[in-house]
Structure 1
Amino acid sequence: MQKLKIIENDPWLEPYSSALEGRHQHAIDKEMELTGGKINLSDFATGHLFFGLHRTEQGWVFREWAPNATAIFMVGDFNGWKQSSEYQLKKTDNGVWELQLPAKAVKHGDLYKLIVQWDGGSGERIPAWAQRVVQDEETKVFSAQVWSPEFRYKFKITDFKPTTDPLLIYECHIGMSGEAEKVSTYNSFRESILPRIAKMGYNCIQIMAVQEHPYYGSFGYHVSSFFAASSRFGTPEELKALIDEAHSLGICVIMDIVHSHAVKNEIEGLGRFDGTPDQYFYADAKREHPAWDSLCFDYGKNEVLHFLLSNCKYWLEEYHFDGFRFDGVTSMLYYSHGLGESFSNYADYYNGYQDDNAICYLTLANRVIHQVNPFAVTIAEEMSGMPELAASFHDGGIGFDYRMAMGIPDFWIKTIKEKKDEDWKPGHIFWELTNRRFGEKTVSYAESHDQALVGDKTIIFRLIDSDMYWHMQKGDTTFKVDRGIALHKMIRLITATTINGAYLNFMGNEFGHPEWIDFPRSGNGWSHKYARRQWSLVDNTKLMYHYLGDFDKAMIDLIRSVPGFNLAPIFQLWDKSNDQMLAYQRGNLLFVFNFHPTNSYTDYGILVQPGKYKIILDTDSKEFGGFGLSDDTVEHLSLYDPVHASHNKEWLKLYIPARSALVLQREGSDPVIS
């Protein structure tokens, strides 16, 4: 067998070549087993077209996989919720049950469930492949719903291709996207929030909590119905209209897909669907996730692979999503779920405690997704650093397009919490932000929704704390507010401009949304007060929030103005720990940071390419809530130095205020990356 390219690119993987080659061959063998070599994997992943309830020329057909069931009845509005022979399914082959119905037997909007019987018991169940599930507002009971509207949504844009150079992701949650203390909707998001995102310059939205989940406060991570878009936010047609509108604005749409675990609920979810604990999940000690109170899929079962791979294809084809951010990948990769692991050396990734079936599934999922849509985006939320995760399948990798750079927000939190301002080391910051695997693209971010949840704090809240409540009005700021606003901009600028693939921001964090996220629960009186976004704060020009929002837009616009920005190599030009100064070059842009809390520098020299430089972004500008200490209209000429002339370097002398950063462009040259 020819050596895998991932091993050629990283000789440190050589001792583990047999494990890597074994994983790669496992995926090849499994794909052959599933397809028989006669179809491609995308053709195999069509379970959603077979299972569930479907309208046919003859009427309706319903199918379900339940190998341990002894009888299954469909009950609902159409038969008074009582078991009857005309709505009894018949068992066919391989544990599949089927029911043929005339056209008048059910109608659009009818609610229904299954009564599944097995030896020794029975229970109500939501069909596993249900594509529409709703909750009764009074009883809070979930039911499947017949969804066959007279006018199905017809997409206006059918050939959308995401812009990925770079991918600028706005992470969002539909339900908490409005300002009112209630659950917001697909329609309100489309009408009110999408225009904001487009104006801010982001070219991708990552939507959380799309798959139906019984408990709103789970943030969508305890999924019950994998093929149903959450009805809390509206109808399938309204979600499709949202995605279509995003595409018309040049914004691609990816969803958080949860295949790492499932809710334990048996009536609403898949737990003991046919009376057995191991229909979809592991049956032994691996069945329950020890930290998440959820169930773990058995990725070794072909029926489970069929279910999950079909789920990937369904969201791409039915809703025109442009890809996925796979949640909880670390939990999938390891039998330990990554809990208590240090991952301090390569051996930790190849010591036999990895779930090879899960690794195989993730590899096949990426195969399916990119067969369905070659332009689709896949992102792995993974914190262990497994090497081949975001390498292509052909190179021997698992095949994700990006991996989340989860160490970056952890680094920022640790720095803010544990280090005095004068101990911040710019060189260390630069190393943390640019330390990544060769050939693997990452999603860099200063904070996501994780850092905004109750029990944690956003960056702005850590920096400003209680002063946020009283001193964010212009003319009434404190030292703490001024410091927080300055560092908030600098942290985002250095994180966003050192990317090698994508940048992510969570909804509202760009303007320093105050406080935390706390979904309605018994502990807060089922309040929506903290499960919303207060857009009026950034819209109010009397408050300081709009400065942060304006800066974020300017930063994103700058990145988008340079074609291929994320492809340009980054060269560190200057790192002076005592001065807390850092400078790096990307293409024809120069980034200069002064992290010192008190020292401003006059005529500070940095060795650069000869030329004329103009400031194009200044964190200390008054338009961004700074002090405006620099004259940004001044052009800066590099100064000849015979000592460095042979290296084509000259001195650029700058005035750089404390706690500020400058972006300069070398004039007479195009910023386009060659």
Structure 2
Amino acid sequence: MLNQASVEHDIYLFHQGNLRYSYQLFGAHPHTEDGEEGYRFALWAPNAKQVSVVGDFNNWNGSKHPLKKMNDNGIWYGFIPDLKEGTIYKYEILTPHGHLRLKADPYGFSSELRPNTASVTYPLNKYSWNDQQWMKRREKINIYESPTSIYELHLGSWKNIETEVYYNYREYADMVIPYVKELGYSHIELLPITEHPFDRSWGYQTTGYYAATSRYGTPDDFRYFVDQCHQNGLGVILDWVPAHFCKDEHGLRRFDGEALYEYQDPIKAEKPQWGTLTFDFGRNEVQSFLISNAIYWLKEFHLDGLRVDAVASMLYLDFGKEEGQWQLNEYGGRENLEAVEFIKKMNEAIFEEVPNVLMMAEESTSWPLVSAPTYIGGLGFNYKWNMGWMNDMLKYIEMDPIHRKHHHNLITFSLYYAFNENFVLPISHDEIVHGKKSLLNKMPGDYWKKFANLRAFLAFMYAHPGKKLLMMGTEFGQFDEWKDLEDLDWELLDYESHASTLEYVKELHQLYNDMPALWELDHSEEGFFWIDPNNYEQSIVSFARNSRNKNDQLIIVCNFTPEVYHNYKVGVPHEGSYKEVFTSDSTHFGGSGQTNGLYLETKADPWQGQNQHIEMTIPPLAVSFLKRTSSPKEEIE
């Protein structure tokens, strides 16, 4: 039996917006009552006149298993004996207007395979985890000073059996994990796997917030995927969508006949850009629903973080709207004040309940302090996607090199604000879909130059301050843009240029993981300084990356034209010998082989603001990484 005092306290917290584990109260849970085993049900539907649980088990007859209303708190509850795991069910709701509606459970832990839409009974706690070592390590790691490179993954189009027929989460684990691990990534980020009716929404228009989509198997199959990632040293981040939900009839829209999860004001509720509805962030019960949902994925599935989608659309009342589609807030501004307070409350709750996870905001504006703690006025995330860097760099890299000198600021401007937030540098699915071209195919020039540009771009990205994210397929230079209903063009790996690109990304990750200068001070001005940001005529920039150990310093030289320069002078801060530890122009990767094979001795003539300089060969459309050696003569001998 449930403890009545505990239930009443939970209900009080739910209505206050402070029930962080509301999924333990609501939904369908295995239960024993008067010696009978079955499932108990609880639902928030304050406007309903009557609620019943219906399914195949009672021939969808709402008269057989009605729920009872608990006082005036809008909660309906009941117990149905003899129900088993895997039973499909919906709620039959009689609205205030006398209409009967069939709704999936907002707290349903599993769903039928689309196009069917019923919820499915599924217990929370039957999976046995084997990732204890990972979870203990996660408690101690300083993510800010660790190498973080993220592989963005859409399971169904990574590899499938045929169009819209997919492998199981467990089969994906066996295929994906060895591949991503060998490439050297630290994390996998999954596009939303919350249940959604339309494959081509990619999960961003959700109906089942608590259900791992049945396209790929059961919730425990998904737990297995995460468990195996952890056992193989890979973290898992989930794209999470609290900004809006889709309007499908079985979902949250006008759930009990009235606006319940969405704003009652249609001007605030509607997101015309996506044809979806905005959550009512000011409603306490909706806050409990969403905050509990975030904690649910982090706790019940051991996820290592959430990438929160479309944060800007939450923050601004006018986001994606035309004149007449939005109204000013009470102070005459365009900020959604309720959403701002909700975001802060959500992040505070998450870091109290699940410390040391990643909360990454996809926030595309200049809203201040997105990744700062709430106690200093921040939104409370610990990372923000650097959309400014992404837009500038993609605009720059798509230009013919002959024009790049006129837009040199596009590769330098990001360093003016690189340390204002904790940034992730993203090249995500949004940039390589729907006519935008793949990253490789954005590159100008002939076949060789496209691959050289791609290698240079990726090397610059990994040398730039900030954590890294790359969409799947980029690692082997997919020519076609992302095709969401087809799998990746794996056959390209039969061709040398694509196989070499895959090897390049693998070795770039190895360099990245081995060099603390590329990540240890990512979020501190001490971790970076320009050597020469101003050579726009030749489209060359040079800079240094530092770690806490001064001996780990790297000098990075980037050339964004196809010209080769010999005896090019680069200022360096320390006397000694410098070795080229990595170059994107190596013939091993398909480059031209304009490398610096010998040690580069410093000359005591100041240059570019540094006390010393070296002379080196600058390869075409390439990036070179240099490191000072302590005893070069011994190494040569």
1:612–1:637 CA contact under 8 A, matched in 2: yes
- Matching of residue 69 in structure 1 with residue 48 in structure 2: yes
Any idea what SS the aligned residue of 1:133 has? coil
- Matching of residue 117 in structure 1 with residue 94 in structure 2: yes
- Matching of residue 108 in structure 1 with residue 81 in structure 2: no
582, 585, 588: which is aligned to 2:544? 585
- Matching of residue 453 in structure 1 with residue 441 in structure 2: no
> What is the RMSD of the two structures over their aligned residues, measured on CA atoms?
2.7
- Matching of residue 391 in structure 1 with residue 372 in structure 2: yes
Any idea what SS the aligned residue of 1:494 has? helix
Could you tell me how far 1:380 is from its partner in structure 2? 0.4
Q: Which amino acid aligns with 2:531?
A: L
- Matching of residue 617 in structure 1 with residue 582 in structure 2: yes
Q: Report the CA distance shift for 1:119/1:221 in structure 2 as closer, same or farther (over 3 A).
A: same
Any idea what SS the aligned residue of 2:314 has? helix
- Percentage identity across paired residues of the two chains: 28
Any idea what SS the aligned residue of 2:266 has? coil
504, 507, 514: which is aligned to 1:551? 504
Q: Which amino acid aligns with 1:592?
A: V
2:517–2:554 CA contact under 8 A, matched in 1: no
Q: Look up the match of 1:45.
A: 20
Q: Which amino acid aligns with 2:497?
A: M
Any idea what SS the aligned residue of 1:227 has? strand
1:61–1:101 CA contact under 8 A, matched in 2: yes
Any idea what SS the aligned residue of 1:193 has? helix
Q: Report the CA distance shift for 1:56/1:172 in structure 2 as closer, same or farther (over 3 A).
A: same
614, 623, 633: which is aligned to 1:652? 614
| C-alpha separation in 1, matches of 2:631 and 2:341 | 48
2:67–2:76 CA contact under 8 A, matched in 1: no
- Matching of residue 289 in structure 1 with residue 271 in structure 2: yes
1:90–1:99 CA contact under 8 A, matched in 2: no
1:14-65 CA distances to partner (integer Å, 9 max, x unpaired)? Answer: xxxxxxxxxxxxxxxxxxxx999999x9973111000001112323210000
442, 447, 451: which is aligned to 2:423? 442
1:547–1:624 CA contact under 8 A, matched in 2: yes
- Matching of residue 663 in structure 1 with residue 625 in structure 2: yes
Could you tell me how far 1:88 is from its partner in structure 2? 3.8
**1:389-538 superposed matches below 5 A:** 389-417=370-398, 420-424=401-405, 427-436=408-417, 438-445=419-426, 447-463=427-443, 480-500=446-466, 502-519=467-484, 528=485, 531-538=486-493
Any idea what SS the aligned residue of 1:72 has? strand
Any idea what SS the aligned residue of 1:56 has? strand
Q: Look up the match of 2:127.
A: 152
| C-alpha separation in 1, matches of 2:169 and 2:402 | 43
**1:240-279 superposed matches below 5 A:** 240-267=223-250, 269-279=251-261
Could you tell me how far 1:659 is from its partner in structure 2? 1.6
Range moving further from structure 2, 234-243 or 183-192? 183-192
Q: Report the CA distance shift for 1:590/1:143 in structure 2 as closer, same or farther (over 3 A).
A: same
Q: Report the CA distance shift for 1:312/1:572 in structure 2 as closer, same or farther (over 3 A).
A: same
- Matching of residue 128 in structure 1 with residue 106 in structure 2: yes
Q: Report the CA distance shift for 1:37/1:154 in structure 2 as closer, same or farther (over 3 A).
A: same
1:322–1:377 CA contact under 8 A, matched in 2: yes
Q: Look up the match of 1:573.
A: 531
- Matching of residue 227 in structure 1 with residue 210 in structure 2: yes
Q: Which amino acid aligns with 1:639?
A: K
Q: Look up the match of 1:56.
A: 31
Any idea what SS the aligned residue of 1:400 has? coil
1:614-657 CA distances to partner (integer Å, 9 max, x unpaired)? Answer: 11111111111112132x4311111122x569x76112000112
Q: Report the CA distance shift for 1:433/1:166 in structure 2 as closer, same or farther (over 3 A).
A: farther
Q: Report the CA distance shift for 1:101/1:181 in structure 2 as closer, same or farther (over 3 A).
A: closer
| C-alpha separation in 2, matches of 1:113 and 1:656 | 66
1:604–1:654 CA contact under 8 A, matched in 2: yes
Q: Which amino acid aligns with 2:336?
A: D
- Matching of residue 636 in structure 1 with residue 614 in structure 2: no
Range moving further from structure 2, 409-418 or 253-262? 409-418
Q: Report the CA distance shift for 1:606/1:364 in structure 2 as closer, same or farther (over 3 A).
A: same
Could you tell me how far 1:166 is from its partner in structure 2? 2.9
* Structure 2: runs of 5 or more not aligned: 1-8, 324-328, 522-526, 547-552, 633-637
Any idea what SS the aligned residue of 1:265 has? coil
Q: Look up the match of 1:525.
A: none
Q: Which amino acid aligns with 1:274?
A: D
**1:347-362 superposed matches below 5 A:** 352-362=333-343
Any idea what SS the aligned residue of 2:506 has? helix
Any idea what SS the aligned residue of 1:221 has? coil
Q: Look up the match of 1:337.
A: 319
Q: Look up the match of 1:345.
A: none
Q: Look up the match of 2:4.
A: none
| C-alpha separation in 1, matches of 2:253 and 2:610 | 67
Q: Which amino acid aligns with 2:409?
A: H
2:130–2:231 CA contact under 8 A, matched in 1: no
2:501–2:589 CA contact under 8 A, matched in 1: yes
1:354-405 CA distances to partner (integer Å, 9 max, x unpaired)? Answer: 0111011111111111112211001000111100211112222111111111
Q: Which amino acid aligns with 1:128?
A: P
Return the TM-score normalized by structure 2. 0.87
Could you tell me how far 1:82 is from its partner in structure 2? 1.5
Q: How many residue pairs end up in the alignment? A: 591
1:153–1:241 CA contact under 8 A, matched in 2: no
Could you tell me how far 1:266 is from its partner in structure 2? 2.1
| C-alpha separation in 1, matches of 2:554 and 2:67 | 69
Q: Look up the match of 1:26.
A: none
Q: Report the CA distance shift for 1:184/1:305 in structure 2 as closer, same or farther (over 3 A).
A: same
Any idea what SS the aligned residue of 2:274 has? coil
Any idea what SS the aligned residue of 1:57 has? strand
Any idea what SS the aligned residue of 1:544 has? helix
Any idea what SS the aligned residue of 1:159 has? helix
Q: Report the CA distance shift for 1:275/1:353 in structure 2 as closer, same or farther (over 3 A).
A: same
Q: Report the CA distance shift for 1:212/1:662 in structure 2 as closer, same or farther (over 3 A).
A: same
1:160–1:247 CA contact under 8 A, matched in 2: no
Any idea what SS the aligned residue of 2:378 has? coil
2:396–2:411 CA contact under 8 A, matched in 1: no
2:27–2:108 CA contact under 8 A, matched in 1: yes
Q: Report the CA distance shift for 1:432/1:150 in structure 2 as closer, same or farther (over 3 A).
A: closer
Q: Which amino acid aligns with 2:422?
A: K
Any idea what SS the aligned residue of 2:127 has? coil
Q: Look up the match of 1:560.
A: 513
Q: Report the CA distance shift for 1:38/1:296 in structure 2 as closer, same or farther (over 3 A).
A: closer
Q: Which amino acid aligns with 1:205?
A: I
Q: Report the CA distance shift for 1:133/1:180 in structure 2 as closer, same or farther (over 3 A).
A: closer
1:566-603 CA distances to partner (integer Å, 9 max, x unpaired)? Answer: 24321111231222221111121111112223x31111
